[in-house]
Amino acid sequence: MEATAASAAFLEMANPSAPASDPENDRDIELMALVGAGNEQAFRLLVERHQNSVVGTLARMLGDAAEAEDLAQRTFLRVWKHAKRWKPEAKFTTYLFTIARNLAYNESRRRSRKKEVSSDQMHDEYGSESAAETRSEPDAEVQRNEMHQEIDLAIASLPENQRAAVILFAYESMPYEEIAKVLNTSIPSVKSLIFRGRTTLREKLAHFTGY
């Protein structure tokens, strides 16, 4: 029951609205000004503020935690490299996740060309890890872990733009406007991507949600 409720909540999440004022973004702008001047401590603080979100987003987009860590490092290195030229014309997180998205897309295309990992192999890997990790856990915990793994696998199966839109919407609580900027598309397009993605996820996760 608990896993079903959590899965349903994930699929029914309402659109987060952009705040009228954003002290978190104001702080990012301050730090970026310092980073642009070569301040390494400010850069470390900026990384600490956003590293978990970037790694988590990349891991869900790629289905590969190790590769996500590598691309997150490359994302922040690009932030450092271009900090002098950065202008706060959009939220810092928009800029940050745009870099992460581009790196993830490039990596996905590279993998697609090489055909390194099939969805069946990914499912087997998740399944074997799940069996090893949850063998001694209580039933409720096992069910929660299975649900999260099934959600991740279902998201990984979505088309590229749908996957990115759903992840930014559901996990990063980005409003439509910011997602549109990250994906370089329109707000109606973002709404359509999220609607189609969530429809697909409902079908794939029906055994958890009961829909």
Mean pLDDT value of segment 196-211? 80
Q: Can you tell me the distance from the alpha carbon of 158 to that of 164, in angstroms, rounded to the nearest whole number?
A: 9
CATH code at 2-12+20-209 = 1.10.1740.10
Residue 141 Cα distances to 34, 134, 144, angstroms: 44, 8, 5
Neighbours of 104 (CB within 10 A): 25
pLDDT band at 211 (very low <50, low <70, confident <90, very high): very low
Q: Measuring CA to CA, which residue among 148, 58, 152, 70 is closest to residue 105?
A: 58
- Sequence spans of domains, the chain: 2-12+20-209
What are the pLDDT digits (tens) for 90-139?
899 999 999 999 999 998 888 777 664 455 555 555 555 554 444 445 67
pTM of the full predicted structure?
A: 0.75
Q: Give dist(CA 184, CA 172) in Å, integer.
A: 17
Average pLDDT, the chain: 83
Report the C-alpha gap between 177 and 185 in whole angstroms: 10
pLDDT tens figures, 5-15: 445 545 665 56
Average pLDDT over residues 8-35: 77
Question: What pLDDT score was predicted for residue 20?
Answer: 60
Residue 210 pLDDT grade (very low, low, confident, very high; cuts 50, 70, 90): low
**Stronger pLDDT, 113 or 204, i.e. the higher one:** 204
Neighbouring residues of 141: CB distance < 8 A, sequence distance ≥ 6: 134
Mean pLDDT lowest among 24-38, 158-172, 195-209:
195-209
CA quadruple 66, 68, 72, 75: dihedral sign = positive
Contact 162, 189 (CB under 8 A): no
Closest CA to 166 of 4, 50, 10, 55: 10
Q: Is the pLDDT of residue 181 over 80?
A: yes
Write down the pLDDT at residue 55: 96
